[in-house]
Structure 1
Amino acid sequence: MKSNKTLLLEKSNTYYLENKDGILPLEYLPFINKINIFIGANNSGKSKFMRSLMTNKNFWILDEDEFRTINSSIKEHNRIRRSTQSPSKPLVKNLEIGKHFDILKNNLWFEKFNTNNFELVTQIQNPKFYYIPVLRTAHSLYLQKNDLNKVRYEKMEDDIFLHTLKKNYSPDKNIDIFTGVHLYKEILNTRNSKRETRKRFESFEKFISRNFFDDKNIDIIAEFDKDESRKGNNTKEVISIHIEGEKHTRDLYDSGDGIQALIILMYKIFMAENDSYIFIDEPEINLHPGMQRLFLEQIITNPDLSEKNLTYFLSTHSNHFLDLTLEKDNISIYSFYSKTEKEDKKLIIKNTNAGDNDLLKNIGVQNSSVFMANCSIWVEGISDRIYIRAFLKSYCTFTEKKYPKEDIDFAFFEYAGTNLDHYLFDDMKEDEQEKIISDIKALSLSNRIFLLADSDNAKANSKKGTRLAKLEAEKASNFIPKIIKTHREIENLLPNEVWEEVLIDLCNKSLTSVPEQCKNIKDKIKETLKTTNSNDYSKKYIGEFLNQIRNKVGKFDGKFAINESEYESKTKSTFGTLKNKRRLSETIANKEFSWETLKKSKTIDKLITEIYDFITNQ
């Protein structure tokens, strides 16, 4: 989802912004979102830029929608009066924009455009910054001492990571820098703080409990031996986790590095004040791809964190974060790269989207999560991935089974496009087919594969039918090729009860924006589906089904309720697939249909049960 907020900055002599107008000195960071990811090769300037953002005493946020509206008004005014007077200048995105807008509002002609009530620029005074640098640890640090041939260890009270950061970067004193070296003291103080602070810590404990200890009640405690402490021995100070039902507590330093790394990140985020800005250098350090997913999903969806209205800036080398952004809203990505001109090095920033291949080239993308998870589910594209994930979650909720951890227990792999050279779709020579199938078999030796494919009604003696048959013949314990032969595409699996809820999203927005009209359309859709069953179109393109519904639902105020533009029109009498498969899959996933509804499709019921069993039967 593209943001409409832009951060205005002092004009830079070091950084440049690449956009449709070329490469210009940086004066603003466009389209900042709740999560902002800085990605690029080493020495591309991303971490340096992130630290520079923390030197701002105030943040000035420009509303892009209002900016466009105002400049459109100026353009329209200049067009109307043409050359009778000197034209009004459009607003420019820089820190002077507020002054220029105030001058503009004093022009009499401007009032008729109804833009005077706009809050074009919002000033955030003295924003609260938290910084989690690359130098971080969940361990207390100790020095080894030798006294009279006796070895002892002395806890380091000074945060040498923090001292190093201050020496190298001279950060602003008002930034809360958290390296984790004093995590013990932080927890000790937190548990003895006012109720508001302790409530934040309880939310953090719930997060740890839910994701690592099967929802058992836990207490994270900063323990110490009072007698030893009085003697000046602070080596007995440990962070421990007490788990309900277990006799012995677990020391944090005995936990896996991934859990410790995640605790460092999430502790400070949970403890942060509302409306704060969180800056993290390379959050992926020591995190398995599954842990990276958990981190990103938590900062996006955790209700306790959502209430805090936090904004994140993350510098990363992780292609896995990029993979995850394909599925998430509220994320902006900025690509960093350097360019040398006449011996001057320019650090260039480009606001981009998750589908920009240049990003992937910058960091050398490998589909790492596929090889690190216990097994992989191969699907033809992102919409299939979204459907299968939503169906799996619904199945687990209904059966009260634990939802397997994505990128740990299993990972999705999208094999369409260049990944497998369209091997299920394009014509290929015999030896090319054999090589691809051989490669899949080789992969399955180290990573169990469940490959899901549409048959597209391919006949057994057709080229595609022959390729699918060869694929099925390679079935083994580590490789399950699942060809859906009863339905043309995954959308054909959806039962009427699902279509009844989502067809309104394929309707004319000018009609559905009127509440009473929207209700009438929904009623007509419900009535139509009583006589039109999606299962009757199981082997036809989904456009055939949608066009039939469109004609039966009919027109309102002279307009067809369902947009014909939603699906491909081949001829006057035949129709193709959806034009925007991903949007429909996201709509269905967001509605969180119950398993009672989804399993009305027997194919969905059988397919998801097979996939779940494949994932869990290690």
Structure 2
Amino acid sequence: MLDSIIFSQNNKSLIGLSNAYLDNLGKINVFAGTNNSGKSRTLRSCFQLSQNHRIFSKKDTLSVTQNSSLIDQFIQVMNQFQRRVSGMNQNFDLISLRKAITNATPSKGISSYNSLKLLIQEYRQLANSLLLQENVPSSILEAINSIERNFPTLWDLMAATSPNKLYIPILRGLRPLETEDGKHFSSKNLYKLRTTSDYFSGDPSMFTGLSLFEEVRSHLLGDHSKRETIKQFEQFLGTELFQDQITLIPREGQDTLFVKIGNEEEKAIFNYGDGMQTLITILFPVFINRDVETAIFIEEPETHLHPSFQKKLIELLKNKMFDKVQYFITSHSPFIINDPDVKVYHFSKSEETFCFKEISNDSNRLRLMGDLGISPSDMLLSNFVLFVEGPSDKVYFEYLLKKYHNLEVRKHYNIFLMNGDNYRHLFLGDNSFDEIMQLNRNIAIVLDGDRSKKGDHYSSDKTILKKLAEENEIMCWITQKREIENYIPFDVYKEAVMTINPDRLKIKWDAGDFANRTNLYEEKKSTQVSPKVTLSGNVLSKINATKTHSLDGISDQELREAINAALIPKQEKFGVGKMNLAKKVTSMEPEFVDSELRSFLKNLAERIQKANT
């Protein structure tokens, strides 16, 4: 088990991190914070525990007290100094110094060692100032300076060894992607290839799920102990997830596992839903490595998981059979962050520097929830709950309901973030909708239309959810326009974008109802030739007049004019952060005049007001 990780100065600079180390690590360590706060960078950096870091483990025999000769020498010098300087007992507290030295051991964590270093530095500075006032030999100061210079750094003291480690990236799944001959899928691990190409070097230890078929097959064809491992994993899944006997079957000629549950007919694993596949993808490598001390790094395990499955996953990771496994996780999930047994580190960004701090109490945990756009009553304990897809939607509806109907969030209603496609797991899972109805029937749901043009159909899942909501007399609005940003008055939207991006001088604007207002293009000074060149009628007539349809008889000037007409400015794509846009737009306090939006707001406000009477 790792107790601390110390970042090299070079690696700190590379990832833009201001912290020197992670200390007091637990079994499950969660990196949480807003997007682009440094969570994933730090997770990937910690995974590369080699030249970039030193590890600090309570099982290490290494101790600061190995340098007892330097420490003893320091105390002797301070004793001499104290005897020479009368009346300084209150400043030179050797009892506190000896206590700090005793505490500076691996069992106390690296913070105590840093405290000792700082204490020695403070004593040296005090001694230096007093030497100017008292008749004290300069040899004493020289001795103190020498001790400070030679005192080992944390980097030198820490072990450079690396534990067994495994990375589970956000790109994961159980179905191969690439075909070999148009009929059969390749066993090539494309998720691992892509993740390694983007973030790592060499051949990192990584599990994406694409190798599960071959790994199960290899174990079943291996020796007795390997076959027993799969049998035990089947028993584990059967007990903890399926409540029935489970058999994993790597069929000959297939590329995905088949699963047999109890007396049911065996089915391909992809027929059991994305949530179940995600749990198996994460739990298999944990189970396989349970007998070896292993650090496992997982990117956003809540992806594709219903809230109940998120809680179940954390419960399973804490299972005693995995005592030798330690976890480092990035997450936005309140169900993971709120687990009392996880160690949470709150990441944030200040200008160009990332930093984190350990969450030590409930108030700090609530502050983190606030950063993620989550409030305690988001768990449906509210008079009325509005479900929206993302944090920027939350900003707009808070503004709109306050401006037009004097309704305040957390007072009259609360907003629950579905985080994009998670509405499927929240409402369309087994009995999910009924369970929410049992908790609170005073709800409304807002979904982005996500259409590229007027004639496009809404997604089938959104259509199903809208019908289900209407059958239960629940408001469900699927925006007719692309998304909520398309309801911002266009002049307000342009001003907000230009304020956020003052250096973008030639933005290509699209006022359409289905334009992507957060992915824009800027025209550059340089040009490129359009893939289609339109010739003038005069030039076309001359070409058609020749028997061979050649360019004979057409002057260079005419050709040059045709090509010049086809030159178009080069374009550079850039993104506008949805949250930045939402905050800027609402700070301008504009009027939203769209009749569709205002009609929904009116009906929504009436329901909220009724729920509060």
TM-score of the pair, normalised by structure 2:
0.46
TM-score of the pair, normalised by structure 1:
0.46
Which of the two has greater strand per residue? Answer: 1
Greater gyration radius: 2
